[in-house]
Structure 1
Amino acid sequence: MTKDTAAEPLDALDEEILAALRELYSRADPCPADLVDRVGFALTVRQLHAEVAQLTDQYVPTRGLGTPTEARTISFSTDELGIMLTVTHAGRDRSRLDGWLTWGGAVVQVTSADGSVRETTADDDGRFVLDELPRGQTRLLVSNEGSRPVVTPGFTI
């Protein structure tokens, strides 16, 4: 008759078997590198009852004459809001973000890769600028009185 060990505490052999299973699954079906960011984004959207803007266009112009700078234009949209961003690299690890919204006077919150949050208010024409943003994964939250907040998916600056 075999002994039922289900109720006994884990021993060294159990730990070894579990470690081997963990290694097997890590190789066969690894966790996506951006899973934590995607879960955090989903929770933010749910908590804010926000609308998610869709990426509609991404354009990287060629370098022109004069000082070589690389700029990139990114557009997002919802049924109520259009967002156009120009990202310009400003040094080794910093970027400048020039933005235009179809909502003049909206509050724009930028969450950077390092977790820092910067906030500004667009002018009456919907224009805003943020300098010295750290490069990496970035997300915008746009709020305007009387409308649901809009959040963009993460994008890299």
Structure 2
Amino acid sequence: MTTADPRFPRDDGALFARLRQMWIRRDPMPHDLVDSVLVALATEGLVEEYALLTMLETDRLAGVRGGADASGQTRVFEFADGSVTVMLRVSALSERRRRVDGWVAPARPLSVVLRHGHDEWLASVSAEGRFEFNDVPAGSVRLLLRPDADGRIDDTARQGFTTPQFDL
């Protein structure tokens, strides 16, 4: 009759406990792993939060020539994510219609999609970073910036940029 080797327990729980102790001795967990994981979890979604925090709305544009538009209402929004900044000037054409003038910095070849419910409007960013939507309905919208089909864009903007929902 052979006796079981005490170094190799037959019980799974005891075997796993020995394996755990072996790996703790041979390859211990880095001392800052827990803190690093907590920081990574806390900063997940930070780009979107920053875009919300940098959103700016005013009733007037300082230093702009000319009178107010037909309704007297002009609003400015600014969105940023660290690699791109989008500024929008929204003018009321009527109670239910808006004009949107936009600028992207730095200027790059992008397509801009304005989503209003299930409807979409498309514009291209000029070499100077400008785009516009002449006549869109008022309401809750989202702006999406996408690389142009030619693909001549740096990797930081390749995935595109989406603003949070905002009201025109």
| TM-score (norm: length of structure 2) | 0.56
Distance in 2, matches of 1:108 and 1:127, equals: 10
How many Å separate the matches in 2 of 1:143 and 1:124?
Answer: 15
Q: Residue 51 of structure 2: which of 32, 51, 54 is its match?
A: 54
Report the aligned-residue RMSD: 2.1
Separation (CA, whole Å) in 1 of partners of 2:123 and 2:137: 16
> How many angstroms apart in 1 are the aligned matches of 2:137 and 2:71?
20
The separation in 2 between residues aligned to 1:98 and 1:91, in whole angstroms, is 16
| Larger-gyration structure (1/2) | 2
What TM-score do you get using the length of structure 1 for normalisation?
A: 0.60
Question: Which structure: greater strand fraction?
Answer: 1
Q: Residue 111 of structure 2 aligns with which residue?
A: 107
Cα displacement string for residues 78-127 of structure 1 (whole angstroms, at most 9, x for unaligned residues)? 11000000000111211000000013321100001x42101110101110
Pairwise mapping of residues 72-151 of structure 1 onto structure 2 (< 5 A)? Answer: 72-102=75-105, 103-112=107-116, 114-144=117-147, 145-146=153-154, 147=157, 148-151=159-162
Q: Residue by residue, what CA displacement relative to the aligned partner does 1:9-38 show, whole Å, maximum 9, x if unpaired? A: xxxxxxxxxxxxxxxxxxxxxxxxxxxxxx
| Structure 1 consecutive aligned stretches of length 4 or more whose deviation exceeds 4 Å | 64-68
Give structure 1 stretches of 5+ with no counterpart.
1-50
Looking at structure 2, the residues matched to 86 and 58 of structure 1 have their Cα atoms a distance apart, in angstroms, of 10
Count of aligned pairs between the two proteins: 105
How many Å apart are 1:61 and its aligned residue? Answer: 1.5
Q: Deviations over 1:32-78 (max 9, x none)?
A: xxxxxxxxxxxxxxxxxxx647031222218x856552100000001
Larger RCO (alpha carbons 8 Å, 6+ apart)? 1
SS at match of 1:58: coil
- Structure 2's unaligned 5+ residue stretches are 1-46, 148-152
